[in-house]
Structure 1
Amino acid sequence: MFTGIVEELGEVVAREGELLTLRGHVVTGDAKHGDSIAVNGVCLTVVGVESDTFTVEVMKETFDRSSLGSVAPGEKVNLERAVTAATRLGGHIVQGHVDGVGVIDSKAPGGGWEDVRITLPSGLDRYIVEKGSITVDGISLTVVAVDETGFTVSLIPTTLELTTLGHKGVGALVNLEVDVIAKYVEKLVKRA
């Protein structure tokens, strides 16, 4: 489980088949084999650690269903270690299970912030509510507005500087994870 509070902006070092090697001096500080690290919001298992890099194995399913299928060496990625019992839950409950891939539709600067509109894959709009939580590339964000085709979030300068969303342009792919509580409620209501 994660919080959606990105710990550092890392970098893809190598991609060889199902192996990704990433650089992140913060997340590798205490990382060991078997740990979970979210990479752009995708929960991945560490299979090797060396100095300030770590390696993860990525299944074909994960490459196919997330934006990780298009990552290349040199690309920036959001990194977050899994929560512990002593961790503050500063964002919201994030599983690291991508529900779909969205596309940055527009970016509009505001008075010290930036509004970003993201298009949604079909069917995800039912889980997103105004002022509710959503995870974009592993970043816990508050939804400003939502409709059937997309949603808008407002990003503060810190988020723009310290995460991938400040570096990605219009047309970029982003991993989306909707609120897990909404999915459970839907399933329970359907059964009732």
Structure 2
Amino acid sequence: MFTGLVEEIGQIRRIGRKGEALVLNIGASVIMDDLKIGDSVAVNGVCLTATTLEDGGFTADVMPETYRHTNLSQLQSGSKVNLERAMLSGGRFGGHIVQGHVDGTGVIGSITRDQNAVVFEVRPDDSELFQYLIPKGSVTLDGISLTVVQTTPSSFTVSIIPHTIGETVLNIKKTGDTVNIECDILGKYVDHLLHYGKGHAETSKGKPRSISEEFLSNHGFA
């Protein structure tokens, strides 16, 4: 489990490719202090396993399923990536519960200034993710724990402080770039429990029921 608080920006040193399977060699320093073979590391929000340790870096395998559904497929030698070690049980929980299990990707639609903050508009590739995206709720972009500001039928926005911009790969992101999206696990579990054993529960109008801010409020969750 992770918190979504990025520890450092790593750099891809080498990539071994065999079809849609990758072996990433990633340069790092901060996370190498106590990293062991077999430990989990979130790379741009994707939970990977350290398979070998080298001087100033580590390697990790990327399986085809991960390749197909995350932005790791776009990495090249020299690419910057967000890195976070798995959470220590005795550490402070500064972000939110992040599994490193990416739900999908999205494209950055716009980047705008709002005084001391930077607002990113993200357009998810899969519209079904919106059932888990609510204003003031949590979302993870490239492994960064963020808060949803607002949503539209096709996009959502997050407002980011200068510290987060400076300490993550968001500082080199631009309009049109792809980001990994992981929705809040609590929302996914609530949705699953509400619909478990019922197939796709339907409303009186025959449309699939989904989680929304109004639904949570009507049922005493918000």
Provide TM-score, normalisation by structure 1. 0.98
Q: 1:188 aligns with which of 189, 193, 209?
A: 193
Partner of 1:29: 33
Say whether residues 1:172 and 2:181 are aligned partners. no
Say whether residues 1:102 and 2:106 are aligned partners. yes
Equivalences for residues 1-192 of structure 1 within 5 A? 1-17=1-17, 18-120=22-124, 121-191=126-196
Identity of aligned residues (%): 46
Whole-Å Cα distance in 1 between the matches of residues 107 and 27 of structure 2? 25
Residue 64 of structure 1: SS of its match in structure 2?
helix
Q: Of the two, which has the highest radius of gyration?
A: 2
Residue 102 of structure 1: SS of its match in structure 2?
strand
The one-letter amino acid of 1:8's match is E
Provide TM-score, normalisation by structure 2. 0.85
**Deviation for aligned residue 1:32:** 1.1
Whole-Å Cα distance in 1 between the matches of residues 90 and 28 of structure 2? 22
The one-letter amino acid of 2:186's match is I
**Deviation for aligned residue 1:148:** 2.3
The one-letter amino acid of 2:179's match is V
Whole-Å Cα distance in 2 between the matches of residues 87 and 38 of structure 1? 17
Whole-Å Cα distance in 1 between the matches of residues 153 and 45 of structure 2? 23
**Deviation for aligned residue 1:27:** 1.0
Residue 117 of structure 1: SS of its match in structure 2?
strand
The one-letter amino acid of 1:116's match is F
Q: Name stretches of at least 5 consecutive residues in structure 2 with no aligned partner.
A: 199-222
The one-letter amino acid of 2:90's match is A
The one-letter amino acid of 1:157's match is P
Whole-Å Cα distance in 1 between the matches of residues 13 and 99 of structure 2? 25
The one-letter amino acid of 2:156's match is F
**Deviation for aligned residue 1:22:** 0.5
The one-letter amino acid of 1:11's match is Q
**Deviation for aligned residue 1:87:** 1.5
**Deviation for aligned residue 1:164:** 1.0
Indicate conservation of the 8 Å contact 1:25/1:53, yes or no: yes
**Deviation for aligned residue 1:162:** 0.8
**Deviation for aligned residue 1:24:** 1.1
Where relative contact order (Cα < 8 A, 6+ residues apart) is larger, the structure is 1
Kindly provide the CA deviation profile for residues 78-117 of structure 1, in whole angstroms up to 9, marking residues without a partner as x. Answer: 0000011112110000000000001100000121111110
Whole-Å Cα distance in 2 between the matches of residues 175 and 7 of structure 1? 17
Structure 1 stretches of 4+ with a deviation exceeding 6 A read none
The one-letter amino acid of 1:7's match is E
Q: How many residues align?
A: 192
